[in-house]
Amino acid sequence: MAGWTLAEIARRLGGRLVGTDRAVTGVRPLESAGPEDLSFLANPRYRPLLERCRAAGVLVEPGVEAPHLSLIVVDRPYVALAKVLVFFDRRPRPVPGVDPRSALDQGCVLGLDVSVGPFVSAGPGCRIGDRAALMAGVTLGPGVSIGEDAVLHPSVTVYDGCVIGARSVIHAGTVVGSDGFGYAQEGEEHIKIPQLGNVVIEEDVEIGANVTVDRATFGSTRIRKGTKIDNLVQVGHNCDVGENSILVAQVGLSGSVRLGRGVVFAGQSGVVGHVSIGDGSRIGAKSAVTGDLPPGSFVIGYPARDHAEWKKTQAVLARLPEMRRRLSRLEKRLESLSLSPNRKET
Amino acid sequence: MAGWTLAEIARRLGGRLVGTDRAVTGVRPLESAGPEDLSFLANPRYRPLLERCRAAGVLVEPGVEAPHLSLIVVDRPYVALAKVLVFFDRRPRPVPGVDPRSALDQGCVLGLDVSVGPFVSAGPGCRIGDRAALMAGVTLGPGVSIGEDAVLHPSVTVYDGCVIGARSVIHAGTVVGSDGFGYAQEGEEHIKIPQLGNVVIEEDVEIGANVTVDRATFGSTRIRKGTKIDNLVQVGHNCDVGENSILVAQVGLSGSVRLGRGVVFAGQSGVVGHVSIGDGSRIGAKSAVTGDLPPGSFVIGYPARDHAEWKKTQAVLARLPEMRRRLSRLEKRLESLSLSPNRKET
Amino acid sequence: MAGWTLAEIARRLGGRLVGTDRAVTGVRPLESAGPEDLSFLANPRYRPLLERCRAAGVLVEPGVEAPHLSLIVVDRPYVALAKVLVFFDRRPRPVPGVDPRSALDQGCVLGLDVSVGPFVSAGPGCRIGDRAALMAGVTLGPGVSIGEDAVLHPSVTVYDGCVIGARSVIHAGTVVGSDGFGYAQEGEEHIKIPQLGNVVIEEDVEIGANVTVDRATFGSTRIRKGTKIDNLVQVGHNCDVGENSILVAQVGLSGSVRLGRGVVFAGQSGVVGHVSIGDGSRIGAKSAVTGDLPPGSFVIGYPARDHAEWKKTQAVLARLPEMRRRLSRLEKRLESLSLSPNRKET
């Protein structure tokens, strides 16, 4: 298979080739790369693996030496890896064209070179941007808008009136625009609050598989541009997730939560409703945020609190049984002290 | 667009109009309502927003005053909101008729005015009640029963022999009737326990998106009437969820759990198998219930215990490092006390 | 309906019939079994229920006596139950044949007696093993391989190049092979790491509904043979889940986690990335594993630690407020001791 030369890769990445120029046909991690592969050292702790590495070339940061290997020196090898993998990505892509087994309402407006797979259905008034791909079994409700170059993987559902931005990618089984969870209690019964808003996914968002993003009661639930969401995440109604945020798998955002830019929720964490999280905040795995957080917060735990304090408490927690014994011992000793008026004489 | 008058809305809600009658065309929250909108004050803490509110009218509870606004006074504004939003709900509805691209077995019995979307399939022996809607990509196994006016959103799967009650709504991607998770261990292997029961969803239940409700080993997993389930919830085999209960997003019920009436599980909470939870119990977010709970319990934590006690413990937890220092100090002082027989003289 | 005799069942199970031979037509738990049912005593604590049991026969372990009942004595009644239920399983099975409303690429290779439901699509180069079943709405990307006798329930998605082993069962809505969650940060932006590997599900695996298994960045995410996965579980990219492991509902495995054989993750537990869990380890419900675990570990909590130690800490935790009071009391008493140079005289 036609490959690349190290020199050409170095040139495209704005890096510097140190050592012999060679041809490469694929990319592999240090331990499994063969003599036709490019490899990478993205994490300094794997540096010892360079020793026995057989790769044709390795992406490294400045300062790394390995005389037996050809190196492509770049400022940030992990970013370089992201870019170089695109050159080697041979995964199949959706082919333009509308499968005759799809069911698009006549009122839909299709851009140029859209790809619509079999068993896709779209209600009246949908707009599909140029080169967007709707893979098999995707369902769009009435009035949905899909941006240019967006990709909806199989069996994604987008409810009526929702908007998916350009270049956004939504993985299989994800549901966008289902009803927010709102009820008014009347006696023992729960009266449904109709959910009349929508969901807006902005540009360059990626959403994993089997995620759920509820529509707003009024207005829009919004996922801002550049945000990345992992699998099985729940985003409640009326949330506003700031730009370039990260929600790791199984995170849950309750209703009306507002995230700033670049917020990171680690796996299985959650947040109660009507809370604001400042820019750049980080939430530890499995944590539960119960109130507003200022920008740059780093919290963890249940309920979530400052990470440094939490660590101190954790360190002591394991000693709790010991502390209790010490406490009892102290009480006894003090008791005996108090009871021994002649202690001095003993 | 034709709207409503405040007087007519007040009349329908059994409320009282205070101020000028005006026409309204939509409903919006206090901060964004314009001069053609109805708004609402459902939570007293938003009362200051009335000041600058520009709405044509506001739903309020008795005792609220705002001379510059028209008010509709009702006993419970949030319940009134739920009702009034129905008047303004212009979201598209499923249209009666069977899409020719569906695949209904000839042995299915359809009621009047059912709506069956494209790519819906139903096995032999299904019964679809009057006015029920099966949206695009829904799959019913053999012998499924769907009640009158029930709505199954896109790509819902209902396995063989399960029952969905009248007026129940199931959001996209939800799976009803998958096999319960039961295995008998034989050596290192897990031998599957065939799951021969079914799932019964009663009337007026709403289930969110990408939920899973497992079928019973014997008998039925049952969700009783009026219960509301949020997205990504897991209900294990043989559970019995009592009437008008609430399961918030990402809750997990293990097998054979029995909930009373009006039980509330907050987000990401869970419960071990074979446990009974009494009527009206509340389980805090992210909590893990590990045993039976009497009616009216309010528990939280991991493992879940009484909410009031949990709060006391939490208050002390943050002080644990400080307590440990105090303990060490005490030990030293007591040590020096014990070692100074002449302390009195010093 | 034609049934079985107790004698025949005993013979097939390698058990011993004690009492009258009778015909049975179904299997039910002790409390609901009628005079035509077989029942079982799998858990000794239900032994008192034998008293009033009306079953035609009961599967029991050696040593159980119930003169009024016919007993089938077997070594492990629960394993016997698993086997006997297969005889009574009358649930509908997929019928061989390819539904004309499916969309299989011409380049797919089908084995003998495969069952392909309506609205199934498969890209070029897929291979479907003998007797495998793809139920309605299943989507296979290009180059997917499905083993013999495998069953994919409705609306399962398998991305390009993934492999499902023989006899494996995947429940509805599950997604296999979606992109791993990997990004390199460049300024505020997240640059996607293309995910070029695949997923390999080995033989005799069962995966629940709405599960997500991400493809590897390089190489394969692997679920080894005999492993059973419950609903709504997340398996991150490059994980390797050992043979005969158990992942209960809503578990989350971060990327590059390696599980040994026979590992059990209880419900809603999770593990950080790049961690190894030794053979036979057990992780308690809702726990968070944060580091490598040796074989045979039994951990619980957040962060997870040894179960026995965790229990000790838990026992003390509830007493924390009391401990704090005792500490304060001690301090006061010690203070008064120190301040009373004439204590001896008092």
* Shortest CA distance from C332: residue in chain B: B330
Q: How many domains does chain C have?
A: 2
Write the CB contacts of C329 (distance below 8 Å, at least 6 apart in sequence).
none
Residue B207 lies inside a defined structural domain of this protein = yes
The answer to whether the Cβ–Cβ distance between A250 and C254 falls below 8 Å is no
pLDDT at residue number A321: 87
Residues C181 and C244 reside in one and the same domain: yes
Selecting from B155, B244, B301 the residue whose C-beta is nearest the C-beta of A155 gives B155
| pLDDT on residue A297 | 98
* Comparison of pLDDT for A343 and C73, the residue scoring more: C73
Judge: C234–A249 Cβ closer than 8 Å, yes or no: yes
Higher pLDDT, A318 or B138: B138
Q: Give C306's strand partners.
A: C299
Verify that A147 and A30 share a domain, yes or no: no
Predicted confidence (pLDDT) at residue A252 exceeds the cutoff of 80: yes
* The pLDDT of residue B321: 87
Q: Which of A56, A88, A120 is the last residue of a domain?
A: A88
Strand, coil or helix: C309: helix
Which residues of chain B are within 8 Å of residue A157 when distances are taken between CB atoms?
Answer: 137, 153-155, 172-173, 209
pLDDT band at C344 (very low <50, low <70, confident <90, very high): very low
CA-nearest of C241, C269, C237 to C254 is C237
Chain C CB within 8 Å of residue A316 CB: no
* Domain final residue, candidates C36, C69, C88: C88
- Chain C within 8 Å of A255 (Cβ-Cβ)? no
Residues of A in contact with C268 (CB under 8 A): 268
Does residue B111 share a domain with residue B234? yes
Token pair 């049952």: residue: B222
Which residues partner with B189 through β-bridges? B186
Q: What share of chain B is helix, strand, coil (3-state, %, to 5)?
A: 20, 30, 55
C137 with C251, same domain?
Answer: yes
**Per-residue model confidence (pLDDT) at position A315:** 87
Q: What's the pLDDT score for residue C340?
A: 62
Which of C153, C249, C342 lies closest to B252 in CB terms? C249
Return the pLDDT at A344.
47
Tell me if residue C229 falls in helix, strand or coil: strand
User: Could you tell me if C148 and C28 lie in one domain?
Assistant: no
Q: What CATH number is associated with residue C269? A: 2.160.10.10
Q: What is the pLDDT of residue C345?
A: 38
Residues B61 and B104 in one domain: no
pTM of the model: 0.96
Same-domain pairing of B108 and B45: no
pLDDT of C25:
94
How far apart are the C-alpha atoms of C10 and C7, rounded to whole Å? 5
Same-domain check for residues B73 and B144: no
Order the strands of the B16-18 sheet from edge to edge. Answer: B16-18, B71-73, B57-60, B37-40, B26-27
C71-107 CB burial, b ≥16 within 10 A, e <16: bbbbeebbbbbbbbbebbeebeebeeebbebbbbeee
- A263 and A132 part of one domain: yes
User: Using 50, 70 and 90 to split pLDDT, how confident is the model at C335?
Assistant: confident
- Nearest partner of C321 among B318, B133, B246, B34, judged by Cα: B318
> Comparing B339 with C164, which gets the higher pLDDT?
C164
Position C339 scores a pLDDT of: 67
Residue C248 predicted with pLDDT over 70? yes
Supply the pLDDT for residue B44.
87
Listed residues A88, A105, A138: the one ending a domain: A88
Identify from C134, C152, C196, C275 which residue to disrupt to test chain A contact, counting A C-beta atoms within 10 A and taking the largest count.
C196
Q: How much is the average pLDDT of C208-227?
A: 98
C178 and C109 fall within a common domain:
yes
Query: Are B150 and B224 in contact, with CB atoms under 8 Å apart?
Result: no
> Mind listing the pLDDT tens digit of every residue in chain B (346 residues)?
468 999 999 999 999 999 999 999 999 999 999 999 999 998 888 999 999 999 999 999 999 999 999 999 999 999 999 999 999 999 999 999 999 999 999 999 999 999 999 999 999 999 999 999 999 999 999 999 999 999 999 999 999 999 999 999 999 999 999 999 999 999 999 999 999 999 999 999 999 999 999 999 999 999 999 999 999 999 999 999 999 999 999 999 999 999 999 999 999 999 999 999 999 999 999 999 999 999 999 999 999 999 999 999 888 888 888 899 999 998 888 888 776 655 443 3
Residues B33 and B112 in one domain: no
Residue C316 lies in a domain: no
Asked if residue C204 lies in contact with residue C226, where contact means CB atoms within 8 angstroms, the answer is yes
- What residues make up the domain containing C207? 97-308
* A154: in domain: yes
Q: Are residues A269 and A295 in the same domain?
A: yes
| Mutate: best of C178, C317, C334, partner A, most A CBs <10 A | C178
For an interface test with A, the pick among C190, C310, C328 (most A C-beta atoms closer than 10 Å) comes out as: C190
Rounded to a whole number of angstroms, the distance from the CA of C222 to the nearest CA of chain A is 17
pLDDT, tens digit (0-9, with 9 covering 90-100), for C300-324: 999 999 999 999 988 888 888 889 9
A335 part of a folded domain: no
Binned at pLDDT 50, 70 and 90, residue C222 comes out as: very high
Query: Touching check for B285 and chain A: CB below 8 Å?
Result: yes
Geometric angle at alpha carbon B210, from C287 and C217, rounded to 5°: 65
Residue B296 lies in a domain: yes
**Assigned domain for C341 exists:** no
Q: Which of B85, B243, B249 sits opposite A234 (nearest CB)?
A: B249
- Distance from C-alpha of B123 to C-alpha of C135, rounded to nearest angstrom: 11
Q: What is the pLDDT of residue B317?
A: 87
- CA of A186 to nearest chain B CA: how many angstroms apart? 7
How confident is the model over C17-50, as pLDDT tens digits? 999 999 999 999 999 999 999 999 988 889 999 9
Token representation of residue A36: 């036709």
pLDDT tops 70 at residue A2: no
| Dihedral angle over CA of B12, B13, B18, B21, nearest 10 | -30
Q: What is the mean pLDDT of residues A209-218?
A: 98
CB contact under 8 Å between A190 and B243, yes or no, is no
Identify which of A178, A192, A323 has the shortest CB distance to residue B327: A323
Nearest to A238 by CA among A296, A193, A302, A191: A193
Q: Is B345 exposed, middle or buried (0-12, 13-18, 19+ CB in 10 A)?
A: exposed
> Which chain C residue's Cα is nearest to B173?
C173
B341–A337 CB contact, under 8 Å: no
pLDDT per residue as tens digits for the range A173-193: 999 999 999 999 999 999 999
A307 among known catalytic residues = no
**CATH number of A40's domain:** 3.40.1390.10
pLDDT at B346: 37
- Cβ–Cβ contact A339 with B under 8 A: no
B210, A173: Cβ pair inside 8 Å? yes
Residue C225 clears pLDDT 80, i.e. is over it: yes
Q: Quick check: is A338 in a domain? A: no
Which residues of chain C from 21 to 50 reach within 8 Å of chain A, CB to CB?
A: none
Within-domain flag for A129: yes
Assess whether pLDDT exceeds 80 at residue A341.
no
